[in-house]
């Protein structure tokens, strides 16, 4: 059996719809044998943006970004171990929400740190989830932004379909809307949306069956692809690869972290 670990991260500032969607994906991934999952929410965490001090170049491996004494260190280190990562973000002004941007900026320390090295996220499988208020506004652009970040880190991006007729395929990732078509109709008819931060609004994504199915498919795609990639590295001889597992030297520096 090929055992893998999948990390799910909700980058929303709230314990609400985005968090629910990521948990759906994680529960689905865990249904495959040999899959361990862990969920992390950034809601309520104190994470400051990168200030370009470049102290990460000479920091210790267990503290890649020493610029601030905040909650980033704990979550950052969790990203090195797993074989796959699923990131959920709320849609904000046509892109991923502000907390994803802040967290992403600090993750540069994983690339710059000489003791962790640029391969810290390399070859991990990546899947994204975007949750917006409306199905017509910003879900795809938020997904594109998250995918660009993953590709920059040499991760393997997967979508969520087609999945045996459950989803039709063609998705950049999983996506959901808290207003849905019915909710948008409420606004257009002058009845107003769900009131923000009410219990009903925080769980409105549960009415989006399409999002639920997409998250289920995405979780399994990330997990199964991580298994295939991990098995491949254990099978293909190092001499047949350029970016094989093991310590590497780049620019004269010895990055002693195993590649994945």
Measured between alpha carbons, how far is 169 from 221 in angstroms, rounded to an integer? 12
Determine how many CB atoms are found less than 10 A away from the CB of residue 245. Answer: 15
Measured between alpha carbons, how far is 180 from 236 in angstroms, rounded to an integer? 47
pLDDT, residue 205, reads 83
pLDDT, residue 13, reads 87
pLDDT at 257 over 60: no
Closest CA to 126 of 95, 170, 160, 103: 160
Strand 174-177 and strand 95-96: the pairing is unpaired
Q: Quick one: pLDDT band at residue 202, thresholds 50, 70, 90?
A: confident
| Average pLDDT estimate for 21-40 | 96
Residues paired with 41 in a beta bridge: 10
Residue with tokens 């314990």: 15
pLDDT at 188 over 60: no
pLDDT, residue 109, reads 86
pLDDT, residue 118, reads 65
Closest CA to 207 of 241, 233, 183, 242: 183
Instruction: Please give the C-alpha separations between residue 196 and each of 143, 192, 236, in angstroms, as whole numbers.
Output: 23, 11, 52
What are 54-64's pLDDT values in tens digits?
888 888 888 88
Measured between alpha carbons, how far is 167 from 209 in angstroms, rounded to an integer? 11
Which ranges constitute the DSSP H helices of 34-97?
A: 72-78
| Average pLDDT estimate for 221-226 | 96
pLDDT at 193 over 80: no
Q: Which of 51-65, 80-94, 144-158, 239-253 has the lowest average pLDDT?
A: 239-253
Residues paired with 86 in a beta bridge: 8, 127
Closest CA to 226 of 63, 13, 10, 36: 36
Determine how many CB atoms are found less than 10 A away from the CB of residue 152. Answer: 12
What are 126-176's pLDDT values in tens digits?
999 999 877 777 888 999 999 999 998 889 999 987 665 555 556 788 888
Question: Are the beta carbons of 12 and 205 closer than 8 angstroms?
Answer: no
Residue 228, SS3 per DSSP: helix
pLDDT at 18 over 80: yes
Determine how many CB atoms are found less than 10 A away from the CB of residue 67. Answer: 18
Residue 79, SS3 per DSSP: coil
């Amino acid at each position: 059996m090929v055992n893998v670990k999948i990390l799910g991260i909700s980058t929303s500032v709230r314990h609400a719809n985005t968090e629910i969607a990521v948990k759906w994906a994680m529960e689905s991934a865990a249904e495959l044998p040999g899959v361990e999952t862990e969920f992390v929410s950034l809601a309520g965490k104190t994470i400051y943006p990168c200030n370009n001090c470049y102290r990460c170049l000479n920091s210790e491996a267990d503290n890649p970004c020493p610029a601030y004494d905040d909650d980033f260190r704990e979550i950052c280190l969790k990203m090195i171990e797993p074989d796959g990562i699923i990131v959920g973000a709320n849609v904000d002004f046509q892109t991923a929400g502000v907390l994803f941007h802040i967290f992403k900026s600090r993750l540069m320390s994983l690339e710059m740190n000489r003791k962790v090295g640029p391969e810290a996220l390399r070859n991990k499988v990546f899947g994204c989830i975007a949750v917006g208020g409306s199905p017509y506004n910003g879900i795809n652009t938020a997904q594109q932004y998250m995918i660009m970040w993953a590709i920059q880190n040499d991760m393997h991006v997967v979508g969520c379909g087609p999945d045996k007729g459950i989803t039709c395929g063609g998705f950049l990732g999983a996506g959901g809307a808290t207003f849905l078509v019915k909710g948008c109709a409420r606004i257009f008819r002058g009845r107003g949306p769900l009131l923000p931060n009410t219990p009903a609004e925080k769980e409105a994504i549960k009415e989006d069956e399409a999002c639920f199915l997409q998250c289920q498919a995405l979780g399994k795609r990330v997990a199964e692809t991580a298994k295939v990639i991990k098995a491949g590295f254990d099978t293909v001889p190092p001499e047949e690869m350029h970016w094989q597992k093991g310590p590497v030297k780049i620019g004269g520096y010895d990055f002693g972290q195993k590649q994945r």
